[in-house]
A = this chain, B = another copy of it.
């Protein structure tokens, strides 16, 4: 009797509140299928494959695996290791196949953004070229919501719910204390796309509500326009609450703040951002003569499990589940996509898109989601994002009053190959 194949599940890039829910969907579906022997975790994404740092998730308790749904960030471990092209770095790809072969791995489930889909696609091609039977499936993940071919990305709904709530709450703070603390700037993530900043715009149900101004990287930022916007809001409400995406750009496409430090670029070569809020704070204080302060949620926005969107968690799980189901049904080289069947009532199904296409696409915000002045969102954006922030994910709280998150026991598999890196 032929031994059943093993599957590997890995996570890549910036963590989210729900990437573990996707992993849970993969693991539980694979374990229930009867067609897969063991589900292995690759510690720190593709890095763990390269270094053969694998552990047997099937050996973890069912409680631990189930608790993935309530645990933020990437429990298997993530990385920002970007593989070069097949031509430039065939050795890496070959090593991945060698590790797969050594551990009887014939299914590779990779949760990540477009860089990860690119990796999965290339591994898949090499396997195919060399005649190794491998199924590579992508599971979409990015808070940035900028993946093409999917209506939205798991991870986005939760960050959207959280930043909008934070804008609402800090907005109430500014409203209460505007006589001295007149301006608050909330800096949110989003390197190229303004999806997160735009979601914070939801908080403004009426004009008086925070945020009064929302700036996204899709709209060129000019100082004159900004100062004029700020003064207009101040005249009307005596206070101003601003949401700014970290990737705001000047008209010439350069970032409005360029960090020249030693770690200005991450290992994917992406410019490391931050400092937008500080820049805007200085401008407001100087040009409007009022005190400004800023909140920078940083990694707390992408890990805010304590107020995650239930819709997002459920869809993240579904994406993992569907990746396995599609793989077992004979699909290969595809990423699961989310398809919005209808908006009222909201109905969402899943589809599949080629990894190659996803890897080479990017979804910017449609211009009709941003108002004509380029400083807030439109009703169309509200209609798009509201269904994604529905419901609160259940959260387990311990006797100490704080959430309970899981951590794998992570018993490492014996290494079968020589050291690689």
Contacts and interface: CB of A to CB of B under 8 A. Distances in A.
B299 A174 contact: yes
Interface stretch (A96-104, A224-232, A394-402): A394-402
B179 A15 contact: no
Interface in A1-42: 11, 14-15
Q: Interface size bucket, A side?
A: 35 or more
A18 B186 CA distance: 22
Contacts of A298: 170, 184, 293-296
Given A294-B296, A295-B296, A176 B11 contact: yes
A172 B309 contact: no
A306 to B, nearest CB: 5
B390 A303 contact: no
A125 interface: no
Interface stretch (A77-85, A215-223, A318-326): A77-85
Contact of A302 (B14, B173, B309, B382): B173
A170 to B, nearest CB: 5
Interface string A156-185: 000001001110111011111101110010
B307 A293 contact: no
Contact of A77 (B14, B176, B402): B176
Copies of this chain per assembly: 2
B403 A168 contact: yes
B72 A179 contact: no
A200 to B, nearest CB: 11
Interface string A52-96: 000000000000000000011111011111000000000000000
Contacts of A296: 294-296, 298
Contacts of A261: 282, 285
Given A15-B173, A299-B295, A307-B307, A402 B179 contact: no
A402 B203 contact: yes
A288 to B, nearest CB: 12
Interface stretch (A113-121, A262-270, A350-358): A262-270
Given A11-B176, A80-B177, 11 more contacts: A72-B169, A80-B181, A169-B303, A173-B302, A184-B298, A202-B400, A203-B402, A295-B296, A295-B298, A296-B298, A386-B400
Interface of A: 11, 14-15, 44, 47, 71-75, 77-81, 161, 164-166, 168-170, 172-177, 179-181, 184, 186, 202-203, 205, 208, 261-263, 266-267, 274, 282, 285-286, 291-300, 302-307, 309, 382, 386, 388-392, 397, 400-403, 405, 407
